[in-house]
Amino acid sequence: MEGDGSDPEPPDAGEDSKSENGENAPIYCICRKPDINCFMIGCDNCNEWFHGDCIRITEKMAKAIREWYCRECREKDPKLEIRYRHKKSRERDSNERDGSEPRDEGGGRKRPAPDPDLQRRAGSGTGVGAMLARGSASPHKSSPQPLVATPSQHHQQQQQIKRSARMCGECEACRRTEDCGHCDFCRDMKKFGGPNKIRQKCRLRQCQLRARESYKYFPSSLSPVTPSESLPRPRRPLPTQQQPQPSQKLGRIREDEGAVASSAVKEPPEATATPEPLSDEDLPLDPDLYQDFCAGAFDDHGLPWMSDTEESPFLDPALRKRAVKVKHVKRREKKSEKKKEERYKRHRQKQKHKDKWKHPERADAKDPASLPQCLGPGCVRPAQPGSKYCSDDCGMKLAANRIYEILPQRIQQWQQSPCIAEEHGKKLLERIRREQQSARTRLQEMERRFHELEAIILRAKQQAVREDEESNEGDSDDTDLQIFCVSCGHPINPRVALRHMERCYAKYESQTSFGSMYPTRIEGATRLFCDVYNPQSKTYCKRLQVLCPEHSRDPKVPADEVCGCPLVRDVFELTGDFCRLPKRQCNRHYCWEKLRRAEVDLERVRVWYKLDELFEQERNVRTAMTNRAGLLALMLHQTIQHDPLTTDLRSSADR
């Protein structure tokens, strides 16, 4: 306050003076009240506490303040200004303070209740810290020096670094305040020009205790600063390759002792001169890079690493080889585990395969002097590696010689005895021929019937209409009964029943399609399949054309058209007479020409199918016969006859 405020003497003095008033509770603020249950802010100069309400500073505003001085101090000393915090630095400061400054137990301090609120109050920390530094009032055992440093460290947030699931708040990494700017995570950050895809904390700030293993700091994760385009290719996969392995290693260590993990992580920065302590799987980058890092060079912005791009081609194969080697190591480890469980035979087979793979390598490694001689006739040159001949010509010559020598003998052998399969084939062909002929005659028969039918229909149409008593009879009956349609199930008048059912069926049937990819191409067939192209399914409709409900609509029947159905006596005998009823009325012969046409067409289709089948069979037999005793077959196989008398093992009964 007045005189005491500017004095860096224990503020207790100021409080004590208040106690002279007779109240034991210390009083604060301009209102001089002992109330401490509301938000308070402390002056960094006089260390007096003020209620936020009294001086009209809210807690939220206070959060933005870094240094605050009460009005009186400011008036007294114009140099004192209220300093506000940068948005980001506020968070960082708060983190740092967590680690760097000791926590306020609050237990041993003179000020009682403010303690729990202390953490939330702006400015309280420093005040208290300053108080603690002087140390007399509180038995708090903390090291004073780092606390009473520069004003910039007078953070208004608590000195305690926030703990969270991924931050212990106490390790070296947690205490760091600034991002290094050179690790892969930093380079991904927007503020360092990265695409912000990875979005993780700086490697050096990953908590050593609680952060994910793969996020923690490793020297290999510090890659050169060069922009991604210019990064040589083998380098880029490296971080991803290495991370799982070292983390595995760490993970294993962690199982033993949790504490060791942190030390293991701390080790790399210190292992400067000797890269050996890192495991083989920890593929270290090129030595230059490593040394640069170890010299603390990641403060220099990238210059040493820039130069590495020139060396990259030289290093790539080496790195790549080591990278590949690592993969093999992993795979072999997995394999060896499996082998123990597998049978011996499979184990051996796997090795056999491996050996087979190894052999080509060995062949490549041969020197010309040890190559075998070419197998060509009369040729003394060495063979090409991986081949038996020195050139194509030699190979061809040898093959030709073989054929000249061996083939005549084989042909003679073959012809020594009649080939029974040939005989069978010939018999089969004959049979097929005969069947084909009979099928063809049937086909002709069908065609004839087809034409007959058309003639009948035509003739019938030319008849005149004649009303009959029959029709009237038909009408009077069945008007009361109801028939249910077989397709839709609705009750319908029997008079229109046929027509309705026909249309109903067509409606349902036309919803499905029945077709094949190929259009019909049969010579000599007039009308068989519908063959309408359906572009959706890319098929041609393969229903009978006369019957297809989808694609052919029944033509409208004119009123004067006559039914024309040939009448029969006793089902089979044709009377020669035709039904004279108008088509629209005739129920007995409803759609007769469609049905008859369909019958004939179906027969024709059947015959065509049969012909097709026979054709297929014939083709098979013919190919078998032509391919028998081919050059390759004769050269590769041989049948040695031991008994010249016996050429056929069949007993005479069967022949």
Partner 1 sequence: MGTKEAGDARAAELGLLPSSTNPNKQMSEKPNYALKFTLVGHTEAVSSVKFSPNGEWLASSSADKVIIIWGAYDGKYEKTLHGHNLEISDVAWSSDSSRLVSASDDKTLKIWDVRSGKCLKTLKGHSNYVFCCNFNPPSNLIISGSFDESVKIWEVKTGKCLKTLSAHSDPVSAVHFNCSGSLIVSGSYDGVCRIWDAASGQCLKTLVDDDNPPISFVKFSPNGRYLLIATLDNTLKLWDYSRGRCLKTYTGHKNEKYCIFANFSVTGGKWIVSGSEDNLVYIWNLQTKEIVQKLQGHTDVVISAACHPTENIIASAALGNDKTIKLWMSNY
Burial status of residue 115 (CB atoms within 10 A of its CB: 0-12, 13-18, 19 or more): middle
Which residue lies nearer to partner 1 by CB, 300 or 422? 422
Residue 335 Cβ, how far from partner 1 at the closest point, in Å? Answer: 18
Residue 439 Cβ, how far from partner 1 at the closest point, in Å? Answer: 21
Residue 440 Cβ, how far from partner 1 at the closest point, in Å? Answer: 25
Burial status of residue 136 (CB atoms within 10 A of its CB: 0-12, 13-18, 19 or more): exposed
Helix (H) or strand (E) holding 484: strand 483-484
Residue 168 Cβ, how far from partner 1 at the closest point, in Å? Answer: 50
247 C-beta neighbours (distance < 10 Å), count: 17
User: What secondary structure, in 3-state letters, does 346-382 show?
Assistant: HHHHHHHHHHHHHHHHHHHCCCHHHCCECCCCCCCCE
Among 119-127, 178-186, 232-240, 638-646, which window interacts with partner 1 (CB under 8 A)? 638-646
Interacting residue with partner 1 among 21, 248, 479, 627 (CB under 8 A): 627
Interacting residue with partner 1 among 9, 280, 577, 648 (CB under 8 A): 648
Residue 389 Cβ, how far from partner 1 at the closest point, in Å? Answer: 20
**Distance, C-alpha 53 to centroid of its chain:** 60
Which residue stretches of 189-242 are H helix?
237-242
Among 296-304, 359-367, 530-538, 641-649, which window interacts with partner 1 (CB under 8 A)? 641-649
Which residue lies nearer to partner 1 by CB, 546 or 634? 634
Residue 639 Cβ, how far from partner 1 at the closest point, in Å? Answer: 4
Q: Taking Cα atoms as reference points, which of 580, 330, 597, 350 lies closest to residue 453?
A: 597
Which residue lies nearer to partner 1 by CB, 165 or 645? 645
Interacting residue with partner 1 among 414, 435, 567, 587 (CB under 8 A): 414
Q: Quick one: tokens of 157? A: 């947030």
Q: Are 413 and 638 in contact (CB under 8 A)?
A: yes
Q: Using the rule CB under 8 A, is 418 a contact of partner 1?
A: yes
Name the one residue in this structure whose structure tokens are 């249950």. 37
Which residue lies nearer to partner 1 by CB, 341 or 361? 341
d(CA 249, CA 265): 11
Residue 646 Cβ, how far from partner 1 at the closest point, in Å? Answer: 5
In sequence order, which residues have a C-beta less than 8 Å from that of residue 75 and are 6 or more positions away?
none
Residue 625 Cβ, how far from partner 1 at the closest point, in Å? Answer: 11
User: Which SS3 state, helix, strand or coil, does residue 148 take?
Assistant: coil
Q: Using the rule CB under 8 A, is 651 a contact of partner 1?
A: yes
Residue 405 Cβ, how far from partner 1 at the closest point, in Å? Answer: 16
Q: Using the rule CB under 8 A, is 639 a contact of partner 1?
A: yes
Q: Taking Cα atoms as reference points, which of 302, 165, 332, 280 lies closest to residue 222?
A: 302
Which residue lies nearer to partner 1 by CB, 431 or 588? 431
Which residue lies nearer to partner 1 by CB, 420 or 557? 420
Which residue lies nearer to partner 1 by CB, 584 or 628? 628
- DSSP summary character for residue 444: H
Among 532-540, 552-560, 600-608, 619-627, which window interacts with partner 1 (CB under 8 A)? 619-627
Among 127-135, 165-173, 378-386, 419-427, which window interacts with partner 1 (CB under 8 A)? 419-427
Residue 628 Cβ, how far from partner 1 at the closest point, in Å? Answer: 7
Among 311-319, 429-437, 454-462, 625-633, which window interacts with partner 1 (CB under 8 A)? 625-633
Interacting residue with partner 1 among 429, 547, 624, 625 (CB under 8 A): 624
Residue 629 Cβ, how far from partner 1 at the closest point, in Å? Answer: 8
Q: Using the rule CB under 8 A, is 380 a contact of partner 1?
A: no
Output the CA torsion 605→609→610→616 (10° steps).
160
243 C-beta neighbours (distance < 10 Å), count: 18
Interacting residue with partner 1 among 417, 472, 493, 526 (CB under 8 A): 417
Find the binding residues for partner 1 in span 524-563 (CB under 8 A).
none
Residue 426 Cβ, how far from partner 1 at the closest point, in Å? Answer: 14
At 382, the amino acid letter reads P
Which residue lies nearer to partner 1 by CB, 228 or 627? 627
d(CA 616, CA 611): 9
Interacting residue with partner 1 among 113, 458, 486, 633 (CB under 8 A): 633
371 C-beta neighbours (distance < 10 Å), count: 17
d(CA 119, CA 156): 9
Q: Taking Cα atoms as reference points, which of 546, 578, 580 lies closest to residue 561?
A: 580
Q: Using the rule CB under 8 A, is 60 a contact of partner 1?
A: no
d(CA 553, CA 550): 8
Which residue lies nearer to partner 1 by CB, 325 or 637? 637
Which residue lies nearer to partner 1 by CB, 554 or 648? 648
d(CA 326, CA 11): 66
- Strand partners of residue 164: 167
Q: Quick one: tokens of 135? A: 């140390």
Q: Using the rule CB under 8 A, is 407 a contact of partner 1?
A: no
- Strand partners of residue 275: none
Find the binding residues for partner 1 in span 420-439 (CB under 8 A).
420-421, 424
Burial status of residue 374 (CB atoms within 10 A of its CB: 0-12, 13-18, 19 or more): buried
Among 55-63, 171-179, 411-419, 552-560, which window interacts with partner 1 (CB under 8 A)? 411-419
Name the one residue in this structure whose structure tokens are 């289709």. 605
Q: Using the rule CB under 8 A, is 643 a contact of partner 1?
A: yes
> Could you tell me the sign of the dihedral formed by the alpha carbons of 486, 492, 498, 503, in that order?
negative
Which residue lies nearer to partner 1 by CB, 328 or 352? 352
Helix (H) or strand (E) holding 131: helix 124-134
Residue 277 Cβ, how far from partner 1 at the closest point, in Å? Answer: 45
Among 191-199, 527-535, 569-577, 622-630, which window interacts with partner 1 (CB under 8 A)? 622-630
Q: Using the rule CB under 8 A, is 411 a contact of partner 1?
A: no
> Could you tell me the sign of the dihedral formed by the alpha carbons of 239, 242, 246, 251, in that order?
positive
Residue 419 Cβ, how far from partner 1 at the closest point, in Å? Answer: 5
Q: Are 478 and 494 in contact (CB under 8 A)?
A: yes
Find the binding residues for partner 1 in span 312-371 (CB under 8 A).
343, 345-346
Q: How far lies 441's CA from each of 291, 431, 437, 611, in Å?
A: 97, 16, 6, 11
Q: How many residues bind partner 1 (CB under 8 A)?
A: 31
Which residue lies nearer to partner 1 by CB, 56 or 655? 655
Q: What residues make contact with partner 1 under the rule CB under 8 A?
A: 343, 345-346, 414, 417-421, 424, 620, 624, 627-628, 633, 636-643, 646-652, 654
